[in-house]
Structure 1
Amino acid sequence: MKKFCLFVVLLFVVFMSCKNSKKEVFEESEDYFDTIRKVTIHAIPEDLLADKSDSIRSYYKLFENHEIWVDRENREDLISQIEKTKDEGLNPEEYNINKIFRLELRMDSLQVEEKLAYDILLTQTYEKLCNHYYRGKLNPDEVYDNWDLFDKKLSIAKLLKEAIDTKKIAPSIKGLLPTHPIYLSLKGALVEVDKLPASKFDSIDINLKIKFNDNSEVIKKIKQRLVYWKDLKQEDTLYTNKFDAKMLNAVKKFQARHGLFADGVIGIGTIKALNYNKETRKGQILANLERWRWFSRNLGDQYILINLPDYELDYVKDKDTIATHKIVCGRPERMTPILSSKLSNFVFNPTWTVPPTIIKEDLTVEATANRNYFTRNRITIYKGTNTVVSPSEWNPEKAESYRYVQTPGYNNSLGVVKFNFPNHHSVYLHDTNHRDYFEYKYRALSSGCVRVENPVSLAKKVLDGQDNGRWKSLEVIRKERAEKEAKLKLNKNYKPVKLSPEELEAKQKMLTEEQDAIDKIIAAKETYYIKVKQPIYIHQLYWTSWSDKNGLQFRDDIYNLDKILYNKLGGIGDNIND
């Protein structure tokens, strides 16, 4: 037996040795003269690649271990792209710009070994730049705890080979950047902020709210701040203590740009926003640019896009925003996770199983004080699978060992509809029994899931057009018929078929009936599932700044994610306020 074990160990050692030796095989190459370019292409000696990463070694293997950056045009393209990294909120110095520029100026006088080292430096820089453009400088999982985005794969080897061969270095790099309008608007915001003069604002402090027609010494300072941010024109104001009409309009504009109630009343929220300076806002923009480089490049043909700090949901179909809804997201101590997923089904009249966090922090406390908590909230207590426990028999010391289920209904915690999608955080979109929350401006108030205003309307729009047979809308039916007729036109015997007025009326009636069917399902108060067959993606994302026709837009950093990210990007923490 011992001999057999020894034999197995020896076999394993031999196998691993062969495997490792195979990995380290380096194919020696020789210099050769390129008759087309009239240059000598130098081979890369093994010792120059010995300490380089596996990926760098693999790139050179594609070029048979010869120089890659032989053509000046390719080198100059790369240098140009490095210089343009500042447009993306990145620092060209991190991509060896000065060293590369100095070496390029001396290219014709470099010794062979220096040229080869320069070639490797260019390859490393290309790889770094591609990764940063496509995935971001940082790994979101190493910055935040609750990010769950789609994986993004990039074959730099294939990209580099094609770019070098076709002399399309610039397109190969630029094509990795986000093209979403928000990312492009952030680049515009960065330009606008950079145009502003340097500022180091003194903090504005007020004890009482300031309203139209008030007189106060602090109003002069507020006017100066509004002029700085271009909400108030220099020629439209006198720096007096009077809160006049033009200042009122400027305050409302400033408030709207910051997601505040645009009522013209200057309170704590408005003063907090006024106290941010240029460097603070620039740091915020840089953090948001980095986050957008983490997000998926292709959000899908149909998707629900949620911006948590703006408390807003958009349903987008074929690049057209079909619907916009207010949302309530998790409070800071119970953050809503940032994630991408795909809608799987709707549950109308859902039951609600109380999650562990709420059991521990809410239910146990309230129910211990008053057992009527369960009856008042229509919650059934279960022990094991289906054994019902009465409130009087409930043991608060074992509260977390029970299962708590709330019956369906309009006042159920999930409301009348729930949107399910797979994720690792047990969160979903849903209706709510606290519909008054949607009137607030600050709506980070939930326990982690996203609550949607008028969710039944959203559910109907998503189902309208789904390939579920009964849920097809008239618009989809017409589109399908048009596509079918387009194919039939290829037949010389084709005769166009049009829906008669009667057919149109019948289809419209069917659509109305099916929309009404959802209302009937809800009215029945029975739990009902509808599967979503066509892909509808869900993106719960986080961005706190952008630019639009109304100017620079900023939102409160409800989870303090901007400061965390900006610090890790190398910024100074004080530049982003708490």
Structure 2
Amino acid sequence: MRRFVAILAFLAVMLSPLAFAEQRETVRRAPLEAEIARQLADAPEVLRRFYATRAYRPAWAERQRVAAFAEALQTLEGDGLDPRDYRADALAAEQRRLKEGGAEAEALARFDLQASEALLTALRHLQRGRLDPRQVDPRWEIPLEAPPLDLAAISRAVDGERFDQAFGEARPPYAPYERLRSGLARYRNIERLGGWPGLPDTPRVLRAGDVDDAVAQLRRRLAMEGELEVMAADTDAFPGAELQSPDPRRFDTALEAAVKRFQRRHLLEVDGVVGPQTRAALNVPVAARIDQIRVNLERARWLLHGLPEAFVLVDIAGYRLSYFRPNGEIWQSRIVVGQPYRRTPSLRSEITHMTVNPTWTVPPTILREDVLPRVRRDPSYLQSQNMRVLTPSGQRLDPWQVDWYNPGNVMIRQDPGPQNALGQVVIRFPNDHLVYLHDTPAQGLFAREQRAFSSGCIRVEGVLAFAQLLFDDTGSGQDVRALIASGQTRNVSLGRSMPVILHYWTVHPDENGQLVFRPDIYERDDALLRALDRPLAL
């Protein structure tokens, strides 16, 4: 009797509507897997490999999983990406339409592949950038190297609905990227609060001691960006803020210090005076700063992966060189980079050797645009600069016998010495642009906040100390000052090569994590922003 009751109970369960649905899903699963395999024949290789790790099981059959994925895609806004590029607003609705319409395996398989492609595309964009930098910057020379996606781990993340974790593991694992993301969130919050007030467009300069309505506007502007605590008169605009002086119209010492902090973070002359340049930077709308951060998040995705333990980073727009030493220390220095019409390129190479007591052969562009006009005015200019005129074979010519309006195929070479344009040492790395790091006799240029004065190569402040660190850290056993003291022009190899990266950021965190906004000296941001905002076709 008990056996009969058990059989009846089993039949009741099997004949229930839920059991019928489960059986029908099991029966349909095999045709769906076969259809997925069939449609993958023309799919990208990464999609084929993803489904191979799953034995062609569908990834997006459950509504809850699709909804969780769509919700996770919205978080990509925090990376400066557009969730709509990955169909975040359409996936759940599309799956619901297919399910309710009783779609066949062909349509369900197509949806499954599209959702997986959206996921893999988002992960790839987080890992190495949404755009190909070579299409945005034709002078780009940094290899697009990034570790391959772990498709088996991604498949497990899909099954476990751990999309935030998958996105987090794909992002560049370096502090500057996270600080840019934090800055983006902060500036978007300022935008939600209505942005900051602009200063009146007037030639008047504001400085310490002034009392004016424009000073109160300046105070509110700096308070919005966190440079200054607000005053009693501004508590309605900033509830809960700590109060300062009772007169917001007075340009006091606290406001002067805040202006200097702002100037320092925007690579302006740090004088505490609000002149035309500082006023222009203050009046850049918060929306433009948000776009600037988004552009530089993309640049960070291009570069910040697979970095070596020790390397040299040349921050072109920030006018700074950082040497990340093998012992974990960071040596930093100010640099001078190429003028806007002689841009320093972005590239990745390896420092192989140095030239001490270098000669300098004047490059054709500098010869044509700089040296020849001076020689035509005064042929004694060459002698004053310790320069010689040579034939292509190296034979010396008398500069007074050369027709400088039609000089022919001559070379001008500057001898070693204190006036040499390359200084006492040149640090070399192979590249198609023939740029290098070097010393300079024009040391006064390093005192300026914006330093785009060179012809493309990079002048380094304190380059002798930097050169000695490279010798020490690569086991070269050389003393750079002794080599210079010999007076001989020599090429000296490092014990082993040192990676070097030249890159361009117009926003970057400083050592305190604060965002520093730099002038876009090479006008590269607009083209990158337009490309970043162009809708993606999946």
**Is the pair's TM-score, using the shorter chain for normalization, greater than 0.5?**
yes
2:452 to 444, 469, 490: 444
Question: Whole-Å Cα distance in 1 between the matches of residues 61 and 346 of structure 2?
Answer: 44
Q: After superposition, where does 1:3-402 map in structure 2 within 5 Å?
A: 39-40=29-30, 41-44=32-35, 48=39, 52-55=42-45, 58-59=48-49, 62=52, 66-69=56-59, 72=62, 78-105=69-96, 109=100, 110-111=102-103, 112-152=105-145, 155-156=148-149, 159-164=150-155, 167=159, 170=163, 171-196=165-190, 197-199=193-195, 201-202=197-198, 204-234=200-230, 235-238=243-246, 240-318=248-326, 320-399=328-407, 401-402=409-410
In 1, are the aligned partners of 2:141 and 2:348 still within 8 Å (CA)? yes
Structure 1 position 570 matched with structure 2 position 533: yes
Q: After superposition, where does 1:546-565 map in structure 2 within 5 Å?
A: 546-547=508-509, 549=512, 551-565=514-528
Question: Whole-Å Cα distance in 2 between the matches of residues 550 and 37 of structure 1?
Answer: 56
2:505 to 543, 558, 574: 543
The CA deviation at 1:203 is 5.2
The CA deviation at 1:213 is 0.7
CA spacing shift, 1:77–1:376, aligned 2, 3 Å? farther
Unmatched segments (≥5 aa) in structure 1: 1-32, 472-516, 573-578
Runs of 4+ in 1 over 6 A off after TM superposition: 33-38
CA spacing shift, 1:154–1:244, aligned 2, 3 Å? closer
More divergent stretch after superposition (227-236 vs 307-316): 227-236
TM-score by length of 2: 0.83
TM-score by length of 1: 0.78
The CA deviation at 1:523 is 2.1
Tell me the alpha carbon deviations over residues 145-171 of structure 1, each in whole angstroms, 9 at most, x when there is no partner: 322112325645xx3345326757745
In 1, are the aligned partners of 2:474 and 2:497 still within 8 Å (CA)? no
In 1, are the aligned partners of 2:36 and 2:113 still within 8 Å (CA)? no
- Percent identity over the alignment? 26
Question: Whole-Å Cα distance in 2 between the matches of residues 164 and 563 of structure 1?
Answer: 37
More divergent stretch after superposition (299-308 vs 276-285): 299-308
Tell me the alpha carbon deviations over residues 286-325 of structure 1, each in whole angstroms, 9 at most, x when there is no partner: 0000111111412211111121222111111247333111
Amino acid at match of 1:386: G
The CA deviation at 1:282 is 0.4
In 1, are the aligned partners of 2:336 and 2:453 still within 8 Å (CA)? yes
Tell me the alpha carbon deviations over residues 440-485 of structure 1, each in whole angstroms, 9 at most, x when there is no partner: 11111111111000100111111113233x35xxxxxxxxxxxxxx
**C-alpha RMSD of matched pairs (Å):** 3.0
CA spacing shift, 1:459–1:547, aligned 2, 3 Å? closer
In 2, are the aligned partners of 1:284 and 1:562 still within 8 Å (CA)? yes
Question: Whole-Å Cα distance in 1 between the matches of residues 44 and 343 of structure 2?
Answer: 39
CA spacing shift, 1:438–1:299, aligned 2, 3 Å? same
Question: Whole-Å Cα distance in 2 between the matches of residues 231 and 153 of structure 1?
Answer: 38
Amino acid at match of 1:243: F
The CA deviation at 1:236 is 2.1
The number of residue pairs the alignment matches comes to: 491
Q: Which residue of 1 aligns with 2:233?
A: none
Unmatched segments (≥5 aa) in structure 2: 1-22, 231-242
In 1, are the aligned partners of 2:263 and 2:269 still within 8 Å (CA)? yes
In 2, are the aligned partners of 1:360 and 1:400 still within 8 Å (CA)? no
Tell me the alpha carbon deviations over residues 240-270 of structure 1, each in whole angstroms, 9 at most, x when there is no partner: 5421222122212222222233331222221
Amino acid at match of 1:113: E
CA spacing shift, 1:287–1:340, aligned 2, 3 Å? same
Question: Whole-Å Cα distance in 2 between the matches of residues 265 and 571 of structure 1?
Answer: 40
